[in-house]
Chains A and B, each alone.
Chain A
Amino acid sequence: MSSKGGIVTFEGHRNFRLRLIISTLAGKPIKINKIRSNDVNPGLKDHEVSFLRLLESVTNGSHIEISYTGTTIIFRPGIIIGGEITHNCPNTKTVGYFIEPMLYLAPFSKNKFSIIFKGITTSERSKDATPESIKWGLIPLMEKFGVREVSLYILKRGSAPIGGGEVHLLCNSLIPQPLTIHALDVPKFSAIRGVSYSTRVSPSMVNRMIDGARNVLRPTGVEVNITADVWRGENSGKSPGFGICLVAESKKGWRIVAEGVGAAGGLPEDIGETVAYQLLEEISRSGIVGMSQLQLVLIYMTIGKEDVGRFKIANSQIDEEFIWLLRDIKELFGTEVFIKEEDENYSLLSVKGIGFTSVSKKIA
């Protein structure tokens, strides 16, 4: 994590996608070395190479150099152009792994993004976003920053290990930069919604998951509304699977998400119950948004107008990952976040935007 001779250098495979994304947004080349250099299988993994290819196809003029052993890459970003693309994702990661970083680029592109991702939509082994959590957790958050008209359609579901799913990401709004945000109040959640989905298993599974989750959520006293979404036939992919995604919603549109996917041989009641408890835990340790959404908030705040945005977080959200993220942002954008501890539970983040302008506005 040092900059020598104009190129910013990172070490290791941590935050791989994030670093490439902020490099693209900042328009600065980066070098990542020592990627799994101590591992039995050193170097980039399949999904990381696939992600690099995706990044290459949504940009124009990107230049990627990968060392012979795959442990070092140099990435020189081009401009974000978007377009209509189909991306085949490897079966080691879910499509969410590839969709999530696209949300950072899509609104600031030259052309609209319309990408079809083919691969696994859900997997119990992958800790990546499912299409549900992107739809319920990240896209509403983008609206807060002025990015409207982003939609995600699940055309086909595909559970691990074989997959066969298809998801369509469409971003129709191109904006010069995200709005400056001032979120000072910790919201109260008035409803809990969710989707319980299954592919190629008995339809009773989704209801059993819902029952498990409901039992845990009932004492909260808020309205609980979980939709059953059973997929059959051609569009349900090639493998059996089931999962649930729960969302706590406030009246102002802030959301906190928890999700889980059933493992082979696991009971649907258990997964419903676990995810419900995880949602409660996430609410109890979060400020305005959950841990998984914080990264989007910080990046969008950083690339905003040259104005100070404010955002309230819980003190428990300041963890190791959070610091890694802040350091990576500083490395490329040069901005520092100021944290003001307000009381024992909450802190206020102040971030000054860098005055970023999207390529669509620069050229036109």
Chain B
Amino acid sequence: LKGSAIRKWDINKLLYLNNIDPSDVIKRWRGENEDDEEEEDIEDEEEENFFTKKNSNDASADLDTFQPTYPSIEILKQKFSSETVEEENSDEEYENGYKSLKSRFLVAPKLNSNEDGDEND
């Protein structure tokens, strides 16, 4: 893989270049586009193709919504379930539940461990 060779783009430079499609900005910034150098060379025909395709897709899509899109429920279930209460006996696991979200929840320490312990603020 050319992974290490990918140039890391500065998002601030890409953000307001109106000639670059936002989806491309994201790809370049995340380093997902492996041959972005090449693409620029064949910009003319490639891009035209790309835009017409895109337009026909966009035409019917609602591009003015409030709710974000989510991965399907199966993917979400997998994402959160494999890491959940796997070792239910372990105190720590039981207390914290979803491992990946541990840092995002403020959970009071369990009562049996230390009654007057810190509030975890």
Contact = CB atoms under 8 A, between A and B. Distances in A.
B4 interface: no
Contact of A15 (B56, B64, B70, B103): B64
Nearest to A280: B80
Contacts of B97: 218-221
A280 B15 contact: no
A339 B25 CA distance: 14
Contacts of A162: none
Given A273-B73, A290-B68, A189 B59 contact: no
A277 B75 CA distance: 10
B18 A327 contact: yes
B7 interface: no
A23 interface: no
Contacts of B104: 186, 188-189, 283-284
Contacts of A283: 101, 104
B95 A221 contact: yes
B76 interface: yes
Given A133-B66, A188-B105, A219-B85, A318 B16 contact: no
Interface string A115-157: 0000000000001110001000000000000000000000000
B58 interface: yes
B82 interface: no
A46 B81 CA distance: 43
B94 to A, nearest CB: 9
Interface string B16-55: 1010001101100100000000000000000000000001
Contacts of A336: 15-16
A192 to B, nearest CB: 9
A319 interface: yes
A278 B62 CA distance: 20
A128 B64 CA distance: 9
B66 A292 contact: yes
B76 A324 contact: no
A245 to B, nearest CB: 11
Contacts of A129: 66-67
Contacts of A321: 22, 68
Interface string A304-342: 000000000000001111011011001000001111010
B12 interface: yes
Contacts of A362: none
A281 B64 contact: no
Contact of B58 (A14, A284, A341): A14
A38 B55 contact: yes
Interface of A: 1-2, 12-18, 36, 38-39, 96-97, 100, 127-129, 133, 186, 188-190, 216, 218-222, 250-251, 259, 273-274, 277-278, 280-284, 290-292, 318-321, 323-324, 326-327, 330, 336-339, 341
Shortest beta-carbon contacts, A-B, top 7: A219-B97, A323-B22, A188-B106, A127-B65, A291-B68, A14-B63, A277-B76
